[in-house]
Chains A and B, each alone.
Chain A
Amino acid sequence: MRFLKPYWWQVILLILAMGAQVWTTLQLPALMANIINDGIVTGNTDYIVQAGWQMIGLAIVSAICSFVASYLSAAVGANYARDLRFAVFEKVISLNLEDLKNFNTASLTNRTTNDINQVQNAVMMILSMMLRAPIFCILALVMAIQTAPDMTWIIAVGVTAILLTVIIIMVTVIPKFKLFQKMIDRVTLLTRENLTGLKVIRAFNNEEAEKKKFVQANDELTRLIMFVEKIMKLTNPLINVIFNGTTLLCVYIGITLLSKDFAYLGDMSAFAQYVAQVMMSFLMLSILFVMLPRANVSAGRINEVLNTKTRIHWKEQTNGVPEKTPSVEFKNVDFRYAEADGKVLDNISFKAVAGQTTAFIGSTGSGKSTLVNLVPRFYEPTHGEILINGVNIKDYKQDDLMQKIGFVPQRGMLFSGTVESNIKFGAPNATDAQVRQSAKIAQADGFIEKMPKKYKAHIAQGGSNVSGGQKQRISIARAICKNPDIFVFDDSFSALDMKTDKKLREALVPITRNAVVLVVAQRVSTIKNAEQIIVLDNGKIAGKGTHAKLLCNCKVYQDIVKSQLSDAEYESELKLAQKQKASSMDNIDGRTVLKEAYA
């Protein structure tokens, strides 16, 4: 509600307009009563014309007020939604991965879109209907008492009848709605299963069994629908009967009162209209009460995001002077998710230096991806420290740290725009030549040149118009174009085929001569030549060293290699490794020679 504050004067204006509208609307039946009493009955045609003009005038005023009120409620609702949407978006963008752990992207998107729309509708309805109902009631009561005080009790009878009907129907039906949703979900689920499991179902010849399951769910659903509908269908006839009944009551009472005063003749039809309008506003109000809980759920979901506190606080200014030579050092780093028991990373220490590749391998859940996500401070270690270029990452200003890192996530992520705008995402001032060069290294130049507008080719939302492998290569180009001190490849090569993977790694060599390269990989072939391989098992370091060394003495690494090679190949690899180790030529391996050649 605090988002309504800036619009208080609009809300006040709205209430005034609404009051005026309600008042004028209520004058109309009174005027009509006068026309009947003083005009028609007495045959005073002049009066009829005069009151008629008054009526039209009032109707116009009322219409204007009604327009102002309903426009203002919409405008305030729109402004409110805009502010709320902005606040949520800003919050989500500024929060860290760790803070957002409990939400997935779809749910966050939903909260920023659908939920806010729900709340916006609720605000509009509160402003138009909920405010109007009490104003209407009070003024109508005043008018009713003025015109015919003896008939006021009819309003109470009518309103009570309406409320009772609505409440009774809602109480019987609303609990069934939840069940209804559940059954609808079940039918949808079974349909989806039949579609996604099409081949399996046919392979096992289980079409009949599936049909039986579906028919059962369908029957249950149909039975419930019939039950709910049979009750819901009561609403309209009942409400009609109540409206007609009260009108009849008004006329009847009016006629009995006629013996006292002939003026009741006009009054009773005016009165009947007041009663109908008051009852109408109560009806609207009760509908509102059915819809509000839904908006309330949405508001709660939005607040969950807005109330999320970040656990990572950046320095305003970088403390200390980072060294010129890039390096990444982990000192006894532990990490565990807040509220979780098990450590994801346990006592990790290593140093990665410029010009070398440090690779991380291990099974799913071993923590390798989490580890590299600590480097750009997406998560905060629970214990230990991380030094980048000799300075603790906690002492960096956010932009200073990010500028040093070229991060390539597991899934290639692109933004709508052009190929060029995507590559220049982290380096807005890059020249055309730099963009082309980056694409070339990332092995992306081939397919980009084939696109109709080349580097100016349009990229659709989320990069949905290019393939997975192409997306990945453009994201690699984006990191290269930034010319960072530290490259982080979080399993970025698995979407590429072996050949491209190999070519790309060769092309990276010259530009990473003065950079730290951190690589998470699934395939042994991707990281075989890394200067340092860190094997992770359940969050702990199970081995550290070169391919050859690990193959000889690290059980976990051996298992990984075995699972990817045939037995014979594994044997030959092992022999090769042992030979290499024996010749103790660890320092001058093929990679160094290759590098020399490039230099």
Chain B
Amino acid sequence: MPRPHEQDNTGKVKNTKHAFRIFIKSLKRYRLAIIIAMTLSVGSSLLNIFTPKLLGDMTNIAVTTYPEINFGAIMRIIWLVIGLFVGAGILNYLQGYILAVVAARYTKALRERIIDKINKLPVSYFDTHKYGDVLSRMTNDIDVLATSLSQEITDLTGYITTIVGVMVIMLTISVPLSLIAFIVVPISVAVVGRIVRFAQKFFLARQTILGELDGRIEEDYAGGVIIKSNSYEKNAIAEFDKINQKLTVATKKSQIFSSLSYPVTHIFTNIGYVAICALGGTFVVEGRINIGDIQAFIQYVSSFNRPITELAQTMSTIQSLLASSERIFEFLAEPEEDPDVEPALVIDNVKGAVEFHDVCFSYDKETPVIRNFSVKVKPGQKVAIVGPTGAGKTTIINLLMRFYEPDSGYITIDGAPTREMKRTDVRKMFGMVLQDTWLFNGTVEENLRYGNLKARHADIVKAAKTSNVHHVIEALPKSYKSEIAEDSDNISAGEKQLITIARAMVANPPMMILDEATSNVDTRTEQLIQDSFEKLTRHRTSFVIAHRLSTIRNSDLILVMRDGAVVEQGNHVELLKLNGFYAELYNSQFAEK
């Protein structure tokens, strides 16, 4: 089978323009809401901008009317200022509220689309893609979208409005003073940016060492038994200590630089203040400017700093937003299973005659897995599929269930080609018990009902009894209502298998597909499983991936697989006579006599 793709988790966007376009397009439904939120954000920033200026005016009034301070005028300004910042607060909250709702609805819809997609992708998609990869799109990437959507868009507009607005007001107060600010602030931002970028290198180095250390810890803990039984403890600790020291040095180095950024900004800010005070002072003396204006100006300088630094930050968040959205939409754009043919064939009263006609199949186009395979299975026959691990026994099942489609040739059931039926109808004809005993988190009963959602409690108990699992379930603390969890150890592997058998029994399909479990089942449960397998396949056409010689020998037809291809077929006696691969397999099982 092909190797899974290397996972690209670097958070980099592959095609920024394309990713941006798709992301914007996906927001279409929320366009109006977003525009409103952005307008509100602009409004809120503008309202905030005027506060220092008005406070400065207050001082001016106080100074010019001193000592008979004009409190009437001052009170008017105070009410105006209160109105401004309360208004700004309300606008700010409104835009936050709107975006929170938009982000929640948007991500909710995306999550639904992903889950839909999972169920519509061809099974083959997961041969080349890891589950964890899809899962991380559902969790991490969606999370990135949600937070950046509800935050960054309006932050961005807010910052830009503030920067522009503050610049305008500063210029109206005093052009020369503004020039000082326009020179000092960008220099400080640039210097800090340089430092941060420098620090980044050390952070990266630290990250690498941290990874190395984590790997070492994991490995040594997992291999604890080996370390102990080889008296390797002292060496292991010494080796660990070396990496640990290296990490500490790297951490300190990276911290030197990141500790620098705040003090440097601080120095620059103060130089700016002093320059403004000195120049402003002479202006006041010359009568070119008021004291209140200088006070206001100093406040503007400090409120000028933050949006610029934040703007740089926001840019990098937007990068990761685009990367996440690219990963999500890339997944959503994967080709789905071909649609069912219309109108689809429907067969009633399935007898269970299955035929493979010249079937060819390959997972990737280069290496054919099954070549011109034909076989005729009569209704009620038992077919065993045997072969060493990795021989592709599951391929046959994948084709039967239409998890995969043959490259050429076709399969018929009761003479009707399956490719002309609906997939759901094909799958309805088979019950499936796999070695991987997949159960979901829920009660035992819910899991059993999975075979047929309309089954009544009595049907379920009956199926459990036939599958020899009734007494096991009864022994559980809450019987059929007991919860099954992923890591629950109240149910053994063998019992889980029995439950999956019962689940197939509840479905009561005309044909069966079984995969015998190999090991790790105790003797008694093993016998119970065998017994219920036997009941399940009675009077039904059944396909069994077989490991037990007893099953194989009782089969009507044996398909022998090797390196992905069916190399021999026939019953036990015929195949032994062939003295080929099957005979070799059979003999190796009990060669030592």
Contact = CB atoms under 8 A, between A and B. Distances in A.
A324 interface: no
Closest 8 CB pairs of A and B: A363-B522, A233-B96, A63-B263, A59-B270, A74-B255, A229-B100, A426-B230, A237-B89
B247 A204 contact: no
A258 to B, nearest CB: 6
A398 B231 CA distance: 8
Nearest to A565: B549
20 contacts: A40-B280, A59-B271, A66-B262, A74-B251, A74-B258, A78-B248, A93-B220, A198-B123, A202-B403, A210-B119, A229-B150, A259-B67, A376-B229, A378-B225, A409-B225, A462-B218, A478-B226, A498-B588, A559-B524, A565-B550
Contacts of B230: 402, 425-426, 478, 482
B252 interface: yes
Contacts of A229: 100, 103-104, 150
Contacts of B520: 364, 522
A205 to B, nearest CB: 5
A438 interface: no
Contacts of B58: 251-252, 255
A48 B104 contact: no
A248 B519 CA distance: 77
A55 B237 contact: no
A35 interface: yes
Contacts of A108: 221
A499 interface: yes
Contacts of A89: 217, 220, 237, 240, 244
A134 to B, nearest CB: 20
B196 interface: no
Contacts of A64: 263
A413 B224 CA distance: 9
Interface string A137-158: 0000000000000000000000
A472 B269 CA distance: 64
Given A211-B116, A241-B89, A66 B263 contact: yes
Given A45-B285, A192-B131, A218 B112 contact: yes
Given A188-B138, A202-B403, A265-B291, A105 B112 contact: no
A174 interface: no
Given A226-B100, A563-B526, A244 B270 contact: no
B366 to A, nearest CB: 23
A74 B259 contact: yes
Interface in A248-283: 248, 251-252, 255-256, 258-259, 262, 265, 269
Interface in B132-156: 134-135, 138-139, 146, 150
A225 B104 contact: yes
Nearest to B291: A40
B185 interface: no
Interface in A143-197: 184, 187-197
A105 B270 contact: no
Nearest to A557: B523
A552 interface: no
Interface of B: 48, 51, 55, 58-59, 62-63, 66-67, 69, 71, 74, 78, 81-82, 85-86, 88-90, 92-93, 96-97, 100-101, 103-105, 107-108, 111-112, 114-116, 118-119, 123, 126, 131, 134-135, 138-139, 146, 150, 213-233, 236-237, 240-241, 244-245, 247-248, 251-252, 255-256, 258-260, 262-264, 266-267, 269-271, 273-275, 277-278, 280-282, 284-285, 291, 294-295, 298, 388, 401, 403, 423-424, 427-428, 430-432, 434, 438, 440-441, 450-451, 453, 486, 492, 503, 507, 519-524, 526-527, 548-550, 553, 588-593
Contacts of A414: 223
A502 interface: yes
B487 to A, nearest CB: 10
A192 B134 CA distance: 9
B104 A222 contact: yes
Contacts of B218: 105, 109, 461-462
Contacts of A59: 266-267, 269-271
* Chain A, interface residues (CB within 8 Å), range: 35 or more
A62 B226 CA distance: 55
Contacts of A560: 523
B553 A502 contact: no
Given A70-B262, A93-B220, A105-B221, A191 B138 contact: yes
Given A36-B294, A43-B285, A366-B522, 17 more contacts: A67-B260, A71-B255, A74-B258, A78-B255, A105-B222, A108-B221, A188-B139, A199-B123, A204-B432, A233-B100, A237-B93, A269-B295, A413-B225, A482-B230, A499-B588, A560-B523, A566-B553
A60 interface: yes
Contacts of B255: 70-71, 74-75, 78
Contacts of A52: 274-275, 277-278
A7 B569 CA distance: 76
